[in-house]
Amino acid sequence: MACAALLIPRLLRGSVGAICTRSALWKLTSSTLRHLAQTSVMKSKRKTDHLERTASVIRQEVVAAAKVCGAANESPSVKSLHLLVADQDFSFKAGQCGVYGNGSCSALKRKTTTRVGVMLPIPCTLDSEVEVRVGGDFFFDPQPEDAPRNLVLIAGGVGINPLLSILRHAADLHREWANKGCGYEIGTVKLFYSAKNTSELLFKKNILDLVNEFPEKIACSLHVTKQTTQISADLKPYITEGRITEKEIRDHISEETLFYICGPPPMTDFFSKQLENNHVPKEHICFEKWW
């Protein structure tokens, strides 16, 4: 049986969210508890939904039943839900998306070390039952024989979900290499994450815990664009007021670096285009658009 977690904004009318998955393929057994987190975001006007935008993306055949078994507030506008998944054939890779049985979408994240990407049906209450189907080509799943790579993760708002999945998997790979001297040897990871204010920076404690655990391998730059209150002392060293800039990203370009981007479409389009203009190969630029 698996326990998953999701994120949901304070519910109004239509909503869309994102799920996070982990990069190594995980098989869930009846004796294993896996936590996935899912995020959903309110939209005032419906355009094309996630399923329509990703109609050509390959998805797994397995449709797993899940039950909402817990909830927590992640920010003033986002709530996390915990899902219980029992299907032994349910598996996912870090950063991947998922889809719910009724056609809605949102993002899941594992409570321990990984996450999946999908959109979730809203509203959802405790003991609600949903169906989850994993898919998508936005993921990080290196094999032990692959060449070492650095990662630059660029997130906006709830776009942090699949990227935190990838960040957590990168931490798992660092631990495996440090403890056993085997597996995939990953390089450095730099996360750029932008939100309106510090209260809307989701999972900041999780992020800073990983930065402090691997200070020479994992770093973050947290940006706020409309901060009106004093920034706490523990966050201040990591905070930059203002948007993520092209120069910050350009400084990390190298032949060994992969770029993952997830955020509002204008942000995703801007950075993917800037990277291409700076001669980063297209196969080194991965992006996901949730809304």
How is the chain split into domains, by residue range? Answer: 2-135, 150-288
The bridge status of strand 218-224 relative to strand 189-195 is parallel
Reduce the DSSP state of residue 204 to 3 states and report it: helix
Is the CB of residue 8 less than 8 Å from the CB of residue 130? no
- What is the structure's pLDDT at 254? 97
pTM equals 0.77
| Euclidean distance between CA atoms 177 and 195, whole angstroms | 33
- What is the structure's pLDDT at 115? 32
- What is the structure's pLDDT at 112? 34
46 residue type, one letter: R
- Whether the CA torsion 114, 85, 26, 92 is positive or negative: it is negative
Reduce the DSSP state of residue 95 to 3 states and report it: coil
Residue ranges, the chain, pLDDT below 50: 5, 9-45, 100-108, 111-121
Q: Work out the mean pLDDT of the chain and round it to a whole number.
A: 76
Reduce the DSSP state of residue 120 to 3 states and report it: strand
Architecture of domain 150-288: 3-Layer(aba) Sandwich (3.40)
Reduce the DSSP state of residue 190 to 3 states and report it: strand
